Structure 1
């Protein structure tokens, strides 16, 4: 079926049961509304169903199934693989559902399915509270959470799923249910790490913890020839660091910005993005070894608003650029791993590409693997090899992808699986690597109960049994 094959009378029938807006290929805003974060993705849905609430989600799902159309679910639209769009199908679009409300007495925040990290951070910080939300403020809280939810605070407050208290979910048959530890507990377990395989979450409620609004945070950067020393320091320092410390390495070419010495512009560098989620004075003491390491060319660590720190990396990954990535979960950064990383940093193919290395431990590691559907909690790091280029540079896309794949393959012997939110065009072949065998078996059983027809298959798909 193409976008032109659906009679207007059929979409009129959906419109009669829909409070939001329906956008088809004839709508003047169609091309603008179907754009997502990754400019590499160009798909043409039959209908963008821009929902206003759970009843709209239910109506769109029932209509899509009645017309045998594939379904995609869009929250923030930030997924690298473009799972939030589908050709010739229905996009259940939650991007207009961004309501976020904090209960400061209960220390909880409720966020609708289209809310972004920025919304959750802003409302929570108004009361001096926070939870782990992603490293990029324009990432959707929904997709982030359903895959696990990593961020600057995770060593102190755990993953986003560790703070999740309950969800409102629209299931494959259009039913609206509640999921928590005490109600539909099997579904709730699957939602905490199983991705969007079991339903459309229209409302999340999270526990919050006191933080800020001022924290100690910033970037320290070194030239690439110091990268082996910096990565070895990261390995050793983070192993014994207090939970309040968040450290993310980032390798790239130095941008031509006044912050960086001119002689390094366009040359490989390594940085550590540091976050101290505690007392600022104590943070100065704890982070002193980071700042004293080697010969840094940049040090921006200072007291700053936590909400501002959450937006610190946004300019590096704007909407509309073309992106391609692959990822591994890793143990400690052995000398072999460090050598491989440094070798491929030297061959980076685009000034817009980056290699973030995220550090686990702390509160993340103290949650048993079987408590949620997020595996490998004893892993030390995730590495994400991100190629990026401008739309007008499409002719270089194969070269950039080749750099990612070569880097990825070189690290494969050290892989401990993959974070499901970091799967890309390999989502269908690697999804089982994102879980332990016991988790995978349980997830498939839950899928069979809640989505036996695999309606929610436009994702890193967990197939039902049989």
Structure 2
């Protein structure tokens, strides 16, 4: 790692270990990393994943009606993930007047009995094809995945169900990639459950989205898993990362960009209006707030809006680790050379 004075340091769990602690999440404040060594996590080669598309009660073709209102579908999914295994992951997509889309995945760490073979993709996502595509005993990860999601998979009629065995890299990682376009988005990390009144407001606001396309929606993403094992001192942002339950993203796509300024502004206004509903759920407000002087970025960021934002929340982002990070900054970059970032000023400048 190249430091502000040109020194090159080796940083790991045994050398400069205090700096090693501060790099994940705050590293741009201390130097330039020129070489990395990563520890990979082994996951199953084959996973169960796909989309479940349901029309709410009273919407869409009667034959594909789920029998549940939009709010009931959302409430069921959020309730399921309150106690779901860590291997269960999902995005719940609320897109205007359209159906409710749940993108689910069951991702175990390792596959015990698949023999390392890649799954042959199934073209027809039916229950029979799920069971018969292997030509041999189904891997345990797929069996466990179907069992884990059974409570919500069997609860209502689906218009489309593409859940099937997929190769982790060639299948799961290539699902739902955003195409190049113009987007505006805001998001918030939520601690605890999302209250019913907020879910109802999000349900109503989704219908007000001024555009209808694949890139515009309110997205509820489950957090948890390894994040839940973090303790405040494990890393710079572990104080808050370990408390995340949901990530709520509001995003609008306007392909014409500046060519249609009125539509662009309506998309931005919708995102901001919806964001105000979930903003109070963010966990930053529950953490001790450093003084304004502690968070003064000194104009280091490039936009007034960004500077104002980080002036308010930079200390809250790191929670109880904030004083420790300021001391690290004083030790490794006392003149704040690396300041064009989410800046942590040296402790001596924060008195």
**What is the TM-score of this pair, normalised by structure 2?**
0.71
* Counterparts of 2:77 and 2:341, CA distance in 1: 33
* Counterparts of 1:430 and 1:224, CA distance in 2: 38
Bigger-Rg structure (1/2): 2
What residue is the counterpart of 1:327 in the other structure?
187
Number of residue pairs matched by the alignment: 276
Aligned-pair CA distance for 1:461 = 2.6
What residue is the counterpart of 1:229 in the other structure?
72
What residue is the counterpart of 1:349 in the other structure?
210
Q: 1:454 aligns with which of 336, 339, 345?
A: 336
* Counterparts of 1:304 and 1:183, CA distance in 2: 41
What residue is the counterpart of 2:130 in the other structure?
none
What residue is the counterpart of 1:290 in the other structure?
152
2:92 alignment partner, SS class: strand
1:253-272 deviation per Cα after TM superposition (whole angstroms, max 9, x unaligned): 5xxxxxxxxxxxxx333222
1:77-117 deviation per Cα after TM superposition (whole angstroms, max 9, x unaligned): xxxxxxxxxxxxxxxxxxxxxxxxxxxxxxxxxxxxxxxxx
1:276 aligns with 2:141: no
Q: 1:397 aligns with which of 257, 264, 270?
A: 264
User: Is the CA contact 1:216–1:302 (under 8 Å) kept in the aligned structure 2?
Assistant: yes
1:341 alignment partner, SS class: helix
Q: 1:430 aligns with which of 313, 317, 335?
A: 313
Structure 2 unmatched ranges of 5 or more:
58-68, 109-140, 286-304
1:96-135, aligned counterparts within 5 Å? Answer: none
Structure 1 unmatched ranges of 5 or more:
1-168, 254-266, 419-423
User: Is the CA contact 1:344–1:407 (under 8 Å) kept in the aligned structure 2?
Assistant: yes
User: Is the CA contact 2:56–2:73 (under 8 Å) kept in the aligned structure 1?
Assistant: no
User: Is the CA contact 1:215–1:276 (under 8 Å) kept in the aligned structure 2?
Assistant: yes
Aligned-pair CA distance for 1:434 = 2.1
* Counterparts of 2:248 and 2:99, CA distance in 1: 16
* Counterparts of 1:461 and 1:397, CA distance in 2: 31
* Counterparts of 2:221 and 2:27, CA distance in 1: 20
* Counterparts of 2:6 and 2:155, CA distance in 1: 56
Q: 1:417 aligns with which of 256, 263, 284?
A: 284
User: Is the CA contact 1:268–1:345 (under 8 Å) kept in the aligned structure 2?
Assistant: no
User: Is the CA contact 1:239–1:361 (under 8 Å) kept in the aligned structure 2?
Assistant: no
2:26 alignment partner, SS class: coil
1:319-352 deviation per Cα after TM superposition (whole angstroms, max 9, x unaligned): 4x22322221112122122112212211123333
1:152-301, aligned counterparts within 5 Å? Answer: 169-194=1-26, 196-223=28-55, 226-253=69-96, 267-278=97-108, 279-301=141-163
User: Is the CA contact 1:427–1:459 (under 8 Å) kept in the aligned structure 2?
Assistant: no
Identify if the C-alpha distance between structure 1 residues 205 and 357 changes in structure 2 by more than 3 Å, giving closer, same or farther: farther
* Counterparts of 2:105 and 2:338, CA distance in 1: 36
Aligned-pair CA distance for 1:394 = 5.1
Aligned-pair CA distance for 1:445 = 2.2
